[in-house]
């Protein structure tokens, strides 16, 4: 893998800061997009922009088909058993909340312990504290 070729795919990295190529290392907060994603999003806003699973009109159907097609591609890529195992969230914080709450509901019971490290980001501490409180597991 050639890092120059990878960087070339990200338009935002085609700038300099203080005389150096821009480096961005906060992708859990906001990930930068390669040109192919920017182009796909532009196409979506030009041709599909509608809520998914919310209507039978043309745009709603197109958006739903595109969304479900993306879920299928992810499913195949990670070799998941079903598209039902694939969810999309707005970001890492929402994803962590979803995992903590759904795992706690299905698995935690009074007396169980949740163990995380002191190195965790705040976004991965609060969901587990809330899950423990709801399920009466110490934290």
Q: Above 70 in pLDDT, residue 125? A: yes
What pLDDT is recorded for position 68? 97
Q: Is residue 118 part of a domain?
A: yes
Return d(Cα 32, Cα 131) in angstroms, integer: 31
- Residue 124 belongs to what domain range? 92-135
Task: Check if the beta carbon of residue 128 is closer than 8 Å to that of residue 97.
Answer: no
Q: Is residue 24 part of a domain?
A: no
What pLDDT is recorded for position 138? 59
Least confident of 39-48, 60-69, 99-108: 99-108
What pLDDT is recorded for position 133? 84
Q: Is residue 107 part of a domain?
A: yes
Q: Is residue 21 part of a domain?
A: no
Q: Is residue 102 part of a domain?
A: yes
Q: Is residue 111 part of a domain?
A: yes
Mean pLDDT of the residues in the chain = 92
Q: Whole-model pTM above 0.95?
A: no
What pLDDT is recorded for position 136? 65
Number of independent structural domains in the chain: 1
Confidence of residue 131 (pLDDT cuts 50, 70, 90): confident
State percent of the chain over pLDDT 70. 96
Least confident of 13-17, 27-31, 70-74, 120-124: 27-31
Q: Is residue 121 part of a domain?
A: yes
Q: Is residue 126 part of a domain?
A: yes
Q: Above 90 in pLDDT, residue 2? A: yes
């Amino acid at each position: 893998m050639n890092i120059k070729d990878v960087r070339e795919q990200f338009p935002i990295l085609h700038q300099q800061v203080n005389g150096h190529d821009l480096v961005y290392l906060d992708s859990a907060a906001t990930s930068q997009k390669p040109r192919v994603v920017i182009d796909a999003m532009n196409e979506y806003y030009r041709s599909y922009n509608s809520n998914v699973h919310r209507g039978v009109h043309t745009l709603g159907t197109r958006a739903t088909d595109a969304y479900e097609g993306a879920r299928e591609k992810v499913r195949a890529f990670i070799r998941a058993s079903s598209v039902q195992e694939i969810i999309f969230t707005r970001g890492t914080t929402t994803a962590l909340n979803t995992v903590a709450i759904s795992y706690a509901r299905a698995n935690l019971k009074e007396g169980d312990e949740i163990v995380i490290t002191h190195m965790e980001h705040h976004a991965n501490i609060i969901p587990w504290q809330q899950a423990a409180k709801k399920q009466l597991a110490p934290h």
